[in-house]
């Protein structure tokens, strides 16, 4: 697969993920229909289930893209979810796009394109020690913040827990890359690999910590920190885990993606 094809493969995967979210949002009412005394409509169940399926096929596209793109590029492309979600909410849910967000949508689009087309080879090197250190840091930080957040203000709790959830969610790309390099497409052998369970752990932990963040923190603090670290943490750690050469122009692209994520989330 060419670099260009891999870029659009990852982009397509994130579009399908956002489409899945939008479908679930649009058809979520069936879950509480019986409690409201309403009839459960089959179309609502089909729509919600279709969304669930689309959300869970996205890792396949990331896996394919990792064959030609470095993990930090694949991670940065995940920022496109915000753009897709905003646009799909407009067309599918009738939600208006605030005019103030349009400049940041443009900044995100330009930064994503720039990050994807700066020359960057796929990762073929993998440092096991760096991987486990990079996994331990957000895990330990998350555990610490879960205990400490009870004494924090809603703003502080939102930032700390959102950051922890985002870093763990972003690290899933590196766990997927570890599986690709160590086991290739022999998916049955993945079951015996610790990297698979790191991937699952990060996904579940990120989801649960985000729920706690919603409960204890302000949404205006959770969203920017979550989405910012979702892109930024794997983008930085890739240079150590995969031993990729540093391309300075790419750092500006990552900065643009992170900034637009924060501004779109406010």
237-261 pLDDT, tens per residue? 988 888 777 777 777 888 888 888 7
146-174 pLDDT, tens per residue? 999 888 888 888 889 989 999 999 999 99
Residues 92 and 56 in one domain: yes
Residues 117 and 132 in one domain: no
Q: What are the DSSP calls for 47-93, one per residue? A: HHHHHHHHHHHHHHHHHHHTTTS-HHHHHHHTTHHHHHHHHHHHHHH
Q: Supply the range of the domain harboring residue 130.
A: 124-243
Residues 97 and 14 in one domain: yes
Could you tell me how many residues make up the chain? 266
Residues 31 and 111: their CA atoms lie apart, in Å, by 38
Residue 105 lies in a domain: yes
Residue 13 lies in a domain: yes
What average pLDDT does this structure show over 132-154? 93
């Amino acid at each position: 697969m060419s670099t260009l094809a891999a870029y659009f493969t990852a982009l397509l995967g994130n579009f399908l993920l956002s489409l899945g979210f939008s479908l679930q949002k649009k058809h979520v009412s069936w879950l509480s229909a019986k409690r409201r005394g309403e009839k459960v409509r089959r179309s609502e169940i089909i729509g919600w289930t279709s969304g669930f399926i689309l959300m869970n096929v996205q890792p396949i596209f990331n896996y394919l893209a990792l064959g030609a793109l470095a993990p930090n590029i694949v991670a940065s492309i995940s920022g496109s979810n915000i753009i897709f979600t905003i646009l799909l909410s407009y067309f599918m849910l009738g939600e208006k796009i605030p005019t103030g967000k349009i400049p940041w949508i443009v900044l995100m689009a330009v930064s994503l394109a720039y990050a994807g087309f700066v020359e960057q080879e796929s990762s073929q090197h993998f440092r096991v020690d760096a991987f486990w250190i990079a996994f331990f840091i957000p895990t330990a930080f998350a555990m610490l913040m879960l205990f400490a957040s009870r004494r924090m203000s809603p703003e502080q709790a939102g930032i700390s827990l959102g950051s922890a959830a985002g870093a763990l969610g972003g690290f899933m790309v590196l766990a997927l890359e570890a599986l690709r390099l160590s086991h290739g497409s022999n998916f049955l052998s993945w079951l015996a690999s610790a990297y698979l369970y790191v991937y699952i752990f990060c996904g579940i932990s990120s989801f649960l910590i985000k729920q706690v963040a919603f409960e204890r923190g302000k949404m205006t603090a959770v969203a920017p920190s979550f989405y910012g670290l979702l892109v930024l943490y794997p983008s930085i750690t890739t240079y150590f885990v995969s031993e990729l050469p540093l391309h300075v122009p790419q750092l500006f692209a990552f900065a643009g993606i992170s900034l637009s994520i924060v501004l779109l989330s406010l």
